[in-house]
Structure 1
């Protein structure tokens, strides 16, 4: 089923709702992120980066757009809304990784990932922000060999969180590298990461290991990637 499109209240550009972030009006009048689009009542959708959102907030454009979407001016906008959205998107992405870990579609540990990669079982590859260059290169090479893509620039994506945060999210010790072995799982993770990384912007997404996104994020146009190669209610 095609994901229904929504319009960003600031740019008026349309995109699949899974590529946007919903803002909802809480019972106490606060505007809060609803990244899982489950909160009741009126909502408004945004597809801008954090920098763009904070600029619109400072200039009053966000308030005007929300007033039109909510059909009321009776709400409170926190000056920290950008930080709240970023935190909610990060939590959503890490929760998604945790779910895949519990379902058995996620591998950690260099040796296990190398073995899976060389046998063509890896669909997506991610690294902690503080992963070593050597470790990233070793896994990237194994992935290229197993994917019959030697000589290409196929490599994993460095996430903007360090190993203690990844370890906590997955309930495992010392998580430095992550591989997904199921294409559907890789797509689910990619979608969650795409929204988060798009919102925080490239300046907030460190890329050690010489890692670069190679389709890890689903295209913003909503197109299907050739392969997933990496990239609530009121919060």
Structure 2
């Protein structure tokens, strides 16, 4: 199957609304040439041409901007290097079939800020939907009862608190001995607290597997960009939780 380098959004393989398409479709990174699921890649879009015919290159953290896009699957450090040596400019010129592109010097910072905002907004939506669990005691209780589909820790959470909740999570997921842990977010407690309108948000969890899937997409993109470690077993366990959830409907 041919995987076009730059597809308009809204193809049959993309999801609609807040629910991602199963599995997602694939895109090719314009910098490395590697093909990955679109949910794992970062999208760049271009603004309408200015008066001089030059278009600005902008981050599209939610991959929803209209028009054609270029996809990248690299870390911030690699993106900075690609900007410095001109590799990004050449790749985007080929992708957008235009050499009149303006790449902001602070594009890496803009990209990280946009990706962080996407994760925080998604968590806020899940909280308003009643899917987010806050407070260590409540999370521990729900986790032991099997009521936690995904567990997260702030970047500056203490190890002891994380270990206790991770253990409760494994018990509830029937995954003792698996090494399953909550995900250490590339966001500190201050960022989480401000975004969620709560004091001292250090640990948080999601009660619904579908909520976990919705959060996993923007979070995965942010993790890719900042080079954060992604626990290998977590996706498998969330998928297992989803299957158990569906069986009980």
Query: If the TM-score is normalised by the length of the shorter chain, which range does it land in?
Result: 0.7 to 0.9
TM-aligned CA distance change 1:169 to 1:214, over 3 Å: farther
Give structure 1 stretches of 5+ with no counterpart: 206-211, 219-224, 230-235
Query: Counterpart of 1:16?
Result: 37
- Tell me the distance in 2 between the aligned counterparts of 1:143 and 1:59: 45
Looking at both structures, which has the greater relative contact order when contacts are Cα pairs under 8 Å and sequence separation is at least 6? Answer: 1
Is 1:25 the counterpart of 2:42 in the alignment? no
Is 1:42 the counterpart of 2:42 in the alignment? no
Give structure 2 stretches of 5+ with no counterpart: 1-20, 241-249
Taking structure 2 as the reference length, what is the TM-score of the superposition?
0.80
Query: Counterpart of 2:91?
Result: 65
Shift in Å, 1:124: 0.9
Q: Counterpart of 1:135 in 2: which secondary structure?
A: helix
Q: 1:88-103 alignment to 2 at 5 Å?
A: 88-103=114-129
Q: Counterpart of 1:149 in 2: which secondary structure?
A: coil
TM-aligned CA distance change 1:4 to 1:151, over 3 Å: closer
- Tell me the distance in 2 between the aligned counterparts of 1:95 and 1:213: 23
Is 1:5 the counterpart of 2:44 in the alignment? no
- Tell me the distance in 2 between the aligned counterparts of 1:61 and 1:201: 20
Q: Counterpart of 1:126 in 2: which secondary structure?
A: strand
- Tell me the distance in 1 between the aligned counterparts of 2:29 and 2:237: 27
Q: 1:118-133 alignment to 2 at 5 Å?
A: 118-133=144-159
- Tell me the distance in 2 between the aligned counterparts of 1:4 and 1:188: 16
Total equivalences in the alignment: 214
Shift in Å, 1:101: 0.9
TM-aligned CA distance change 1:3 to 1:151, over 3 Å: closer
Instruction: Say whether the 8 Å CA contact 1:118–1:142 is kept in structure 2.
Output: yes
Instruction: Say whether the 8 Å CA contact 1:215–1:228 is kept in structure 2.
Output: no
Query: Counterpart of 2:193?
Result: 167
Is 1:135 the counterpart of 2:156 in the alignment? no
Taking structure 1 as the reference length, what is the TM-score of the superposition?
0.84
